[in-house]
Amino acid sequence: MLNIVLHEPEIPANTGNIGRTCVATNTRLHLIEPLGFKLNEKALKRAGMDYWPSLDVTTYIDFQDFLEKNPGVKIYMATTKAPKVYTEAKYEPDCYIMFGKESAGIPEEILVKNKENCVRIPMVGDIRSLNLANSVSIILYEALRQNQFNGMNMEGHLHRLNWDETMK
């Protein structure tokens, strides 16, 4: 099971959308405080829709608390400051992928200690960053792809029609 870590997220709608993505992919969500919202906030629940009760989510007082409760885990860190592109990493089935807060990213003190596991999403020009929920989706789905989308539905079905009938 993959793990998404949000370091001090600030926007409830982003975290709600990420929670929904985690439920859809059987991924655990880890939230490192301080949060820029309360977990019972309407915007969080609205974005997470009715999936939020199914979410495997854990909160931590700070990054040190996270490390103490998850000793020895492999953490990839998504940052615009990384020299390596996210597709160059080899994501283990139980790895952790960490993202920083919307306004500032992951603190540089943490990045420096984890340089070999920092990854970036390529962008054009001077764009500061992508939306947090979009960034999580991009990298999470690459990790899932590398792990053959283990346990996920790989085929969809029409409700009223047959795919072959639509081709006539």
Q: What is the pLDDT of residues 117-128, one digit of tens each?
A: 999 999 998 888
Q: pTM of the entire structure?
A: 0.91
Helix (H) or strand (E) holding 118: strand 118-119
Q: Binding residue per annotation — 151?
A: no
The strands making up 3-7's β-sheet, listed across from edge to edge, are 57-60, 28-32, 3-7, 96-99, 75-78, 118-119
Q: Binding residue per annotation — 36?
A: no
CA-to-CA distance for 6 and 99, rounded, in angstroms? 5
Q: How confident is the model at residue 49 (pLDDT cuts 50, 70, 90)?
A: low
pLDDT at 41: 64
Q: Binding residue per annotation — 4?
A: no
Q: Which domains can be identified in the chain, with CATH numbers?
A: 3-166 (3.40.1280.10)
